[in-house]
Amino acid sequence: MKRVVTSVLFFAGLVAVWQALAAAGLWSPVLLPPPGDVAHYLLKAVKDGSLLEASLVTLGRLLVGYLLGCLLGLPLGLACSRVQALSDTIGVLALGLQTLPSVCWVPLALLWYGQSETAMLFVVVMGTLWSVLIAVDNGAQSLPPIYVRAARTMGSHGLHTLIHVVLPASLPFIVSGMKQGWAFAWRSLMAAEIYVTILTGYGLGHLLHFGRELNDMTQVIGVMLIIVVIGLLADKLLFAPWERFLHRRWGTGR
């Protein structure tokens, strides 16, 4: 409870500083609108449904691409950790591509797939796949070998060992890799949406872009706030339960 109060006070303070700066009139209200105006835009956008629609479009793209990236990255990472030849080929490729900021996939995706959902999906998958793959590979390779040995003496072999020992034992690495993959996917999707108008649906990135084109700072700041909130919620809802589980079981953290 005390932690909630601390947080609320902090953010209330931030808004108060914002309000004070806007009221001081140092900058034009076009450049720095007061919090009330931004709230007004958000309320309007919620009412006419444009905000919800854009959020759903963006989250839909993100979820599908992210799940696809994880579904490819997990087994590939496990396979790389077990088979030297795969580690020397796919593993090296993944390491290289992971250093590529995922926004860099946008031009290529547009040329390949045009201004389509497929292009968006491609960018998100590229953002997710490599970091998940590398995290799983690293995690599975840095396991203490004694876990696998102990499992074998209890009659575990092959695929059973992979699924019931290697995979859960690498969980701390996997969760942090999936978190990183999520962050990369989220950033690359926003960049793609800001750059590219996709006619099949306007996402949050598009709203942000339109805000700039219309010189409407309340919309720009409002959409940015929503993007931040979605990022926070994703962290709390998707990853915090796993991290709590890891801390409890492994006895790490506070």
Applying CB under 8 A, which residues contact other proteins?
146-147, 149-157, 160, 164-165, 168-169, 171, 248-251
Q: How far is the CB of 168 from other proteins (least distance, A)?
A: 4
- Closer Cβ to other proteins, 47 or 149, answer by number: 149
Q: How far is the CB of 82 from other proteins (least distance, A)?
A: 17
- Closer Cβ to other proteins, 166 or 204, answer by number: 166
- Closer Cβ to other proteins, 212 or 249, answer by number: 249
Q: How far is the CB of 134 from other proteins (least distance, A)?
A: 21
- Closer Cβ to other proteins, 157 or 254, answer by number: 157
Rounded to whole angstroms, what are the CA distances from 40 to 8, 34, 48, 94, 212? 21, 10, 12, 45, 18
Q: How far is the CB of 242 from other proteins (least distance, A)?
A: 12
Q: What is the DSSP annotation of the chain?
A: -HHHHHHHHHHHHHHHHHHHHHHHTSS-TTTS--HHHHHHHHHHHHHTSHHHHHHHHHHHHHHHHHHHHHHHHHHHHHHHHH-HHHIIIIIHHHHHHHHS-GGGHHHHHHHHH-SSHHHHHHHHHHHHHHHHHHHHHHHHHTS-HHHHHHHHHTT--HHHHIIIIIHHHTHHHHHHHHHHHHHHHHHHHHHHHHH---TT---HHHHHHHHHHTT-HHHHHHHHHHHHHHHHHHIIIIIHHHHHHHHHHHT---
Q: How far is the CB of 178 from other proteins (least distance, A)?
A: 16
- Closer Cβ to other proteins, 68 or 151, answer by number: 151
- Closer Cβ to other proteins, 101 or 168, answer by number: 168
Q: How far is the CB of 237 from other proteins (least distance, A)?
A: 22
